[in-house]
Amino acid sequence: MVGNPTRNRIAERRAATRREILDAAWAQAREVGIANITLRDIARAVGMQPPSLYSHFDSKNAVYDAMYGEAWADFEAHATRELADLPAHPRAALRHMARVFFDYAVGDLARHQLMNQRTIPGFEPTPESYAPAVRVLDEGVALLTAQGVTDRADIDIYISLLGGLIDQQLANDPGGDRFARLLDRALDMFADAVGMSPLPGKRPTRRKAGTPR
């Protein structure tokens, strides 16, 4: 009879402590802002002396790096679930794709700032932590291309449009829906501009006669 593999209890305890540290870092970021977390306060929250924390993370940027990779990996898994079955119509698919990212971003200011803004001076994610962000972008570009948005400049405009509405929502109506309500309208303007066919029963807003569909 084959016995159960030997558990590495030291590794398990180390992983659990690392998880506790990251949970404390996220909690602190949501309380005081992502750029204002301190290793001293994180250590205090998990009941250890600051020097002990360095055996798990050698700097504050190492904590940020782990948080960054975790956030993008979480969104990657979320997007994989939510985008697995896109609407058949390209314009409806575009709306759904944007809504998935918009809702995730506005759901957590600190997380959004770490993932999508250069809020922390001197911080650059490691290639390992950056990898899920690259995969998400590549998959997003592939999905846009599948909807007929193939020009790189159009893709950049789409990303900028979505990011701008997210920033406006977080800055000017946190917890509300002022800019969330504008998302479909803004996307329709974009879809009209790139020549995407209107939804059934709808008419394009500003397409000149003769513009290809």
Q: What is the 3-state secondary structure (H, E, C) of the chain?
A: CCCCCCCCHHHHHHHHHHHHHHHHHHHHHHHHCHHHCCHHHHHHHHCCCHHHHCCCCCCHHHHHHHHHHHHHHHHHHHHHHHCCCCCCCHHHHHHHHHHHHHHHHHCCHHHHHHHHCCCCCCCCCCHHHHHHHHHHHHHHHHHHHHCCCCCHHHHHHHHHHHHHHHHHHHHHCCCCCCCHHHHHHHHHHHHHHCCCCCCCCCCCCCCCCCCCC
The pLDDT score that the predictor gives to residue 15 is: 87
Instruction: Report pTM.
Output: 0.88
The pLDDT score that the predictor gives to residue 203 is: 64
Assigned CATH topology for domain 9-58: Arc Repressor Mutant, subunit A (1.10.10)
The pLDDT score that the predictor gives to residue 171 is: 96
CATH of 59-193, one of 1.10.8.80, 1.10.10.10, 1.10.357.10, 2.60.40.790: 1.10.357.10
Which of the two residues, 139 and 5, has the higher pLDDT score?
139
Which of the two residues, 181 and 208, has the higher pLDDT score?
181
Question: What digits encode the pLDDT tens for the residues 13-44?
Answer: 888 999 999 999 999 999 999 999 999 999 99
Question: What digits encode the pLDDT tens for the residues 111-137?
Answer: 999 999 999 999 999 999 999 999 999
Question: What digits encode the pLDDT tens for the residues 45-86?
Answer: 999 998 889 999 999 999 999 999 999 999 999 999 999 999
Question: What digits encode the pLDDT tens for the residues 151-201?
Answer: 999 999 999 999 999 999 999 999 999 999 999 999 999 999 999 999 987
The pLDDT score that the predictor gives to residue 10 is: 73
The pLDDT score that the predictor gives to residue 13 is: 84
Q: Where are the domains of the chain?
A: 9-58, 59-193
Residue 207 has pLDDT above 60, yes or no: no
